[in-house]
Amino acid sequence: MHSFHYQNGSLHCEGVDLQTLADTHGTPLYVYSQATILDHFRRLDAALAEVDHLICYATKANSNLAVLNLLAKEGAGFDIVSGGELRRIQHAGGDAGKCTFAGVGKTRAEIELALREGIYCFNAESEAEIVFIDQVAGEMGVKAPVALRVNPNVDAQTHKYISTGKSENKFGIDFDIIREAYDRASKLPNITLRGLQMHIGSQLTSSNPFVEAVEKVAPLAAEFKDAYGIEFFSVGGGIGIVYQDSLASGDADWWSSKEDGEKPLTVEEYAARLVPLLKPLGLRILLEPGRYMVGNAGAMITRILYEKHGSAKTFKIVDAGMNDLIRPALYQGHHDIAPLRQPADDAATETVDVVGPVCESGDFFAQNREIPATEAGDCLAVLSSGAYGFVMASNYNSRPFPAEILVDGDTAHVIRKRQDFSDLVAGEIIPS
C-alpha cells in the first residue's frame, strides 16, 4: 500500500498536504504514513496465518520511538542489533521478551543488558561469541537463550553491500560447520539452544533466493528440533520493495498493473511459497522484515534552493544532503522524486541532477533524471525513504538532523524535533 498521492493539485500523505507540512515545519523533513505501516504489518501477519509465527520488525530500518510504539501495540516482536535498540524498544512500550538480538559484535555490556532484561533470544554469529555469552551468563547465574545464525551460502541477487548470505560475507556460521557448532554449543552449561536463524540479504525482489535458502536450511531446523529441542526457525528479513514508479497510483494494489519483470515481491507470494516449506517443521517461525514495513511508508521532503546550468548538466540544488539520506551515495539506490505541486499532464519536463549542499560529489539524489519542470523554492518528495533513511543520517558538515512527522489520517504528529545548534555541539568539550 502506498499513501502518497496527489489531491487538489498537491502531494498528500494520507489526508495531509505535504506543502503545508514543509511550510510549517521546514525542510528537509521526513514524513511517514501510519496507515501504510499498519497495513504492511497486518498483511504480512495475515499471509502467515497458517503457521505459528512472530514478526520481529528489524528496528534498524526506522527506530523512531513513535514507529516502534505503533508496532509494539500491534503485537510485533523486534529484531535488535545493539543495547541502544533494546532500550529504545522498552522506552517505546515494546517487550524485551519478544526481542531477538543479532549482530556480529555484541559487547559484554550489551549481553549483560539483554540477559538482565530477559530478551527472547540471541542470534549468535560466531563460535567465539557463543562461548562469551556462555561465560557472561554463567557470571550472572542465568541461562542465555541462543540461536545460531547459519550462513546458507545462497546468492540473494541484491547489491553487494546488502547481501549477507554468501560464504564471503562476515555474517553467520558456515553451513558446512553448523552441526559441529550446535553440538559444541549444546555442551556449554549456561546456554539454552532456542532456535536457528538465517538472513541472506536485503531488498530481495524475487522469492526464489528465499525458497532456495529455506529448502537448504529447513532440514537442519528439523534436525535441531529433534536433537536440541529448539522452538523456532527465523528466516530473517529481506523482503524487497518497489523504488521505481512508486507513485504510480495510491491504490492498494497498484503493482498489479505493472508489467511483468518489474512487479515487486508481494508478501502474499512470499508466504505462498515459504509457508508450505515451513509448516511441516512444527516450529515457531520468526521473520525480521525492516524495509518492507516502513520503506514505502516514508518520504523525505526537500526544497530547491538554486538552479545551476552547467555546460554539461542542469543541477537542482536542494536543502537535503547525503547526510540526511545516504542511500543513493552508498548503494546507488534509486528513489523516485516527485514535486509537491502536481504537474499538469502536459507539463514540460527537464533532465537534471538533484544534488545536495554537502561538499562531496557523491551528494546527489538523482543523476540525469527526467522530472517535471520545477523552479527554485519548489519542494520535492524523495519517495520510499522510510527505511534506512533517517536512521542513517549524520551531522556531517555540521548539518542538524531533520524533523520527522507521523501522519495518521488528517493529523500530522511531530515525532522528532529538528535539531538546533545546541544539539549539534552537545557533549563536545574544549579543554581549558
> Which residues bind to ligand LLP, rule: CB under 6 A?
58, 61, 79, 102, 162, 199, 202-203, 236-239, 288-292, 327, 331, 388
Are the C-beta atoms of 114 and 101 separated by less than 8 Å?
yes
As given in the structure block, the three cell numbers for residue 2 are 502506498
Residue that is written with C-alpha cell 518520504 in the block: 299
Q: Measured from the CB atom, is 264 or 290 closer to ligand LLP?
A: 290
Q: Are the C-beta atoms of residues 283 and 230 closer than 8 Å to each other?
A: yes
Q: How far is the CB of 421 from ligand LLP (least distance, A)?
A: 28
Q: Which of 290, 322, 317, 313 is nearest to 303 (CA)?
A: 317
Work out how close the CB of 331 gets to ligand LLP at its nearest, in angstroms, rounded to a whole number. Answer: 5
Q: Which CB sits closer to ligand LLP, 96 or 267?
A: 267
Tell me whether residue 4 is exposed, middle or buried, using C-beta atoms within 10 angstroms of its C-beta: 0 to 12, 13 to 18, 19 or more: buried
Minimal distance, residue 309 CB to ligand LLP, in Å: 32
Hey, which bits of 159-269 come out as E strands?
Answer: 173-174, 191-197, 232-234
Q: What is d(CA 311, CA 322) in angstroms, rounded to the nearest whole number?
A: 24
Minimum distance, C-beta of residue 426 to ligand LLP, in the bound complex (Å): 26
Minimum gap (Å) between residue 235 Cβ and ligand LLP = 10
Residues 170, 43: Cα–Cα separation, whole Å: 32
Smaller CB separation from ligand LLP, 32 or 292: 292
Cis status, amide bond into 28, omega within 30 of 0: yes
99 is catalytic: no
Is beta strand 298-309 parallel, antiparallel or unpaired with respect to 99-101? unpaired
Q: For ligand LLP, give the closer residue by CB, 101 or 224.
A: 101
- If the CB atoms of residues 11 and 54 are measured against ligand LLP, the closer one turns out to be 54
Please, where are the H alpha helices in 48-156?
65-73, 83-91, 108-117, 127-140
Residues annotated as catalytic (active site), given as ranges:
359
